[in-house]
């Protein structure tokens, strides 16, 4: 598709229990496979800044003609309880410091963005307590946002479905958060898997985001490679073209039936799309 600039896939350098990545713990294999499949970028799902060494990784990326599109941060909350929405001020402080360290890693790797998705965690309480927790969470994200903004990279906020978090589900929720944060460099990341659960219309959500959309995750309704399920990607691509979206589209998918096949299925999806233009 002519309007799409960069196509990629999400990889975790460290072996992880988070399922929606390929080549988990096999970064070199994943990079080589992504390069052979002619992807432009890879997204790194990072648990710790020690997961990769920029001095070693950067030459490999150059040799393989790959760039880092973004660094995802959710594993720190999922496995180390470093969650930005925690009701414990000490945990929030450590989560912010972790996010700052990841942002510095992104700068050193030449990555275009850092992602706040699963690292939000869940908010506690109901009613007024929930509202207070939400306001605290917004302030915490705003503190995080100042760090990439001052370093010339983008912060991406990802709405996530209700089964994985309890705040910021939809594009509308995400845009409201961006308004509250009030930093222009912060953009929205929309994921087709989460949108399939939460949005009445994926295309309408994309059009609502418009020029505040900075990044897209593609996965089918089963979280397999795009084109393996029921998601109407033609209408999604049409909506992206309508808003003149030119950012990355990265497959954040389950490694099924295996890593290489999942990656190849994604590559074949894009080859088919290109052939239909």
Whether the CB-CB separation of 146 and 99 falls below 8 Å is answered with no
| Domain ranges, ordered by start, for the chain | 6-276
Question: For residue 2, what pLDDT is reported?
Answer: 46
In words, the CATH class of domain 6-276 is: alpha beta
Residue positions annotated with a catalytic role: 158, 252
Question: For residue 4, what pLDDT is reported?
Answer: 55
Alpha-carbon gap, residue 104 to 127, rounded angstroms? 37
* Residue spans of the chain under pLDDT 50: 1-3
**Cβ neighbours for 25, distance < 8 A, ≥ 6 positions apart:** 12, 13, 14, 15, 16
pTM of the entire predicted model: 0.95
Question: For residue 103, what pLDDT is reported?
Answer: 97
């Amino acid at each position: 598709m002519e309007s799409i600039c960069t196509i990629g896939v999400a990889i975790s350098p460290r072996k992880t229990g988070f399922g929606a990545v390929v080549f988990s713990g096999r970064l070199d294999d994943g990079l080589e496979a992504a390069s052979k499949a002619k992807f432009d970028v890879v997204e790194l799902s990072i648990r710790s800044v020690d997961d990769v060494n920029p001095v070693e990784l950067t030459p490999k990326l150059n040799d393989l003609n790959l760039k880092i599109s973004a660094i995802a941060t959710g594993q720190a909350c999922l496995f180390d309880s470093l969650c930005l929405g925690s009701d414990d001020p000490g945990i929030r402080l450590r989560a912010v410091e972790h996010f700052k360290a990841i942002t510095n890693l992104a700068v050193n790797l030449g990555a275009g963005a850092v992602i706040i998705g699963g690292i939000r965690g869940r908010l506690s309480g109901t009613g007024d307590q929930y509202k207070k927790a939400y306001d605290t969470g917004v302030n915490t994200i705003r503190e995080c946002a100042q760090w990439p903004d001052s370093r010339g990279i983008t912060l991406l906020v990802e709405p996530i479905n209700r089964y994985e978090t309890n705040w910021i589900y939809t594009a509308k929720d995400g845009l409201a958060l961006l308004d509250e944060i009030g930093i222009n460099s912060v953009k929205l990341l929309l994921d087709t898997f989460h949108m399939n659960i939460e949005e009445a219309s994926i295309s309408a959500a994309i059009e609502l985001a418009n020029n505040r959309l900075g990044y897209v995750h593609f996965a089918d309704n089963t979280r397999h490679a795009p084109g393996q399920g029921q998601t109407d990607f033609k209408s999604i691509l049409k909506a992206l073209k309508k808003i003149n979206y030119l950012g990355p589209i990265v497959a954040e998918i389950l490694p099924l039936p295996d890593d290489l096949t999942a990656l190849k299925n994604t590559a074949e999806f894009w080859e088919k799309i290109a052939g239909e233009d």
